[in-house]
Amino acid sequence: MPGGFPDTPGAPDPAARFDDALGRVDADAAVEVVDGLLDAGADPLGVLVDVIAAGLRRIGERWQRAEWTVAQEHAATAVAVVATRAVARRAERVPATRGQVVVACAEREWHALPATIIACALRTAGWRTTLLGAATPARRLSQYLHDLGPDAVAVSCSVLGSLPATRHFIEAGTAAGIPVLVGGAAFGPDPVRALALGATAWAPDARAAVTAVAGLPAVVPTAPPLPQAVAAEQAALALAHDRLAADLRVRWSPTARVVGTPPLDGVDGVVGSVVDQALHAISAVLLTGDTRALSWTADWAEALLAARGADPALVTELGDLLTAALPEFPLALDLVERHWDRGLTTSGHLPT
């Protein structure tokens, strides 16, 4: 077990017991695991990263593999929230000897728990933290920045659809000279997207975030503007999102081709997610230049559909539909043509 948790002979490993509690939606059991580890002297940061955040990641994987419904995912996440609060209650006792950090999620980001974990980790490390909830408007963040004058802003972004709003957070922070640390699944496995969006630093997890915050400069210059052409096209694409998504849902045919046992979650719901995600991936690539966001989204869609008994070739069909739907968006169209199904197993190119 990473993190060096104390061993209780004969007891199953804490992370497994935690996952079990999530699966049974048993908040008491989850808190018991966390309290047990902390009582035995485990490092709170290790509990946050190796037990709670790891459990959270497996929740998402279970949904993706169609083992869980969205509602089960929400219920299990709520249990993880309760467990995080148990760590947070102890973190409050740590003297706040360092500066202040505002932790937030931008609009369209509804996964509040990763931000809660980051805030708790920073608090454990002696930072004063102010946690703003899910889907926080940039104006609310700005209000807090002016009122508090923090040393840093930490932004958690799990979904590609929130990257444009995260960019607004980066603008709000750096315009006030405040360094902005970003992290979360939407940034991928390296700092490419984070730096393209003008963030001061990127961290892959809570442990790295604690290290990164300590190394941030006191003052940063305002993030430079994004290239005008891509920013304009991304803004136009965002305005057209609802129209494009509705149109693609109607034209795309996965519902008719579902084979095998009925999926746990409605295929309709997955269709919506895949279509939204595809459009958000295009926006993400426009803003960051990281074309992997598009090919990885196609891979993700393929896995999602396959887990629900649908034909993975539908992802190629969606690529064609996207191409047909985007004539007014030349940059986006070019990206889809070059990068959408590059990694798909059905087109014979395995991602490396």
Partner 1 sequence: MIPGTTGPAAGIPAPPLDGPGARTRGGDHGPGWSGQHAELADEVTTALAGSLNLRRTVLRLVDLLRPRFADWVLVVLADHRLGRLSLHGGTDPTSTDSVARNPAEDLGVGRVLRSGQGELLHVAPDSPTTDGLDSLIPHDALRAQAVDLRPADVLGVPLTARGSTIGVLVLLRGGDRGFPAEDIALAERIAGRAATALDSARLYEDRSRVASVLQAGLRPPSLPRIPGMRIAAGFRAAADHSDISGDFYDVHGHGDDWLLALGDVCGKGVEAAVLNGRARQSIRTAVHFDRSPAVVLGALNSALYDDGDARFVTAVCTRVRPGADGGAEVTVAVAGHPPPIVLRADGTVEELAARGIVAGVRPTATYTEVKDTLAAGDTLLMFTDGIYEARGARGFYGMDRLTRLLPVYAGAGPEAVCEAVEQDVVEYLAGRPHDDMALFAVFCGR
81 touches partner 1 by CB under 8 A:
yes
Q: Does residue 142 interact with partner 1 by CB under 8 A?
A: yes
Q: Does 332 bind partner 1 (CB under 8 A)?
A: no
- Binding track, positions 165-204, relative to partner 1; x by CB under 8 A: ----------xxxx--------------------------
Stretch that binds partner 1, among 34-42, 76-84, 205-213, 323-331 (CB under 8 A): 76-84
Minimum CB distance to partner 1, residue 238 (Å): 9
Q: Smaller CB distance to partner 1: residue 222 or 255?
A: 222
- Closer Cβ to partner 1, 69 or 253, answer by number: 69
Q: Which residue has the tokens 């993700």?
A: 300
Q: Which residue has the tokens 């070019």?
A: 334
Residue 21 CB, nearest distance to partner 1 (Å)?
10
| C-alpha pair distances (Å), 286 with each of 160, 180, 229, 297, 345 | 12, 21, 9, 14, 25
Question: Shortest CA distance to 154 belongs to which of 95, 110, 209, 208?
Answer: 209
Nearer to partner 1, 22 or 332 (CB): 22
Question: Binding of partner 1 at residue 143 (CB under 8 A)?
Answer: yes
Residue 35 binds to partner 1 (criterion: CB under 8 A): no
Contact residue for partner 1 among 8, 211, 222, 255 (CB under 8 A): 222
Q: Does 112 bind partner 1 (CB under 8 A)?
A: yes
**Which helix (H) or strand (E) segment is 154 a member of?**
strand 152-156
Integer Cα distance of 20 and 23 in angstroms: 5
The CA distance from 332 to 99, in Å, is: 42
Minimum CB distance to partner 1 smaller for 146 or for 349? 146
Q: Which amino acid is at 12?
A: P
DSSP string of 160-223, one letter each residue:
GGGHHHHHHHHHHHHHTT--EEEESGGGTTSTHHHHHTT-SEE-SSHHHHHHHHHT--S--PPP
Task: Report, in Å, the least distance between residue 242 CB and partner 1.
Answer: 6
Which CA distances in Å does 331 have to 95, 284, 285, 289, 297? 51, 12, 10, 11, 18
Choice between 278 and 336, CB closer to partner 1: 278
Of 28 and 350, which CB lies nearer to partner 1 in the complex structure? 28
With contact defined as beta carbons under 8 Å apart, do 129 and 103 qualify? yes
350 exposure class (CB count in 10 Å sphere: 0-12, 13-18, 19+): exposed
Among 174, 106, 180, smallest CA distance to 137 is for 106
The two structure tokens encoding residue 22: 């999530």
* HSE toward the beta carbon, residue 187, CA cutoff 13 A: 25
In the complex with partner 1, the residue whose CB is nearer, 110 or 126, is 110
Alpha-helix runs per DSSP H in 49-131: 54-64, 70-91, 113-124
Among 4, 12, 137, 189, binds partner 1 (CB under 8 A): 137
Residue 257 touching partner 1 (CB under 8 A):
no
The amino acid at residue 314 is L
Instruction: Tell me whether residue 81 or residue 284 sits nearer to partner 1 (CB atom).
Output: 81
Report the residue from 39, 92, 147, 268 that binds partner 1 according to the rule CB under 8 A.
147
Interface segment toward partner 1; rule CB under 8 A; list 60-68, 73-81, 197-205, 285-293: 73-81
Candidates 22-30, 52-60, 250-258, 317-325; binding stretch for partner 1 (CB under 8 A): 22-30
Positions touching partner 1 (CB under 8 A) are: 25-28, 69-72, 74-75, 77-79, 81-82, 99, 107-108, 110, 112, 134-135, 137, 139-140, 142-143, 145-149, 151, 175-178, 218-219, 221-222, 242
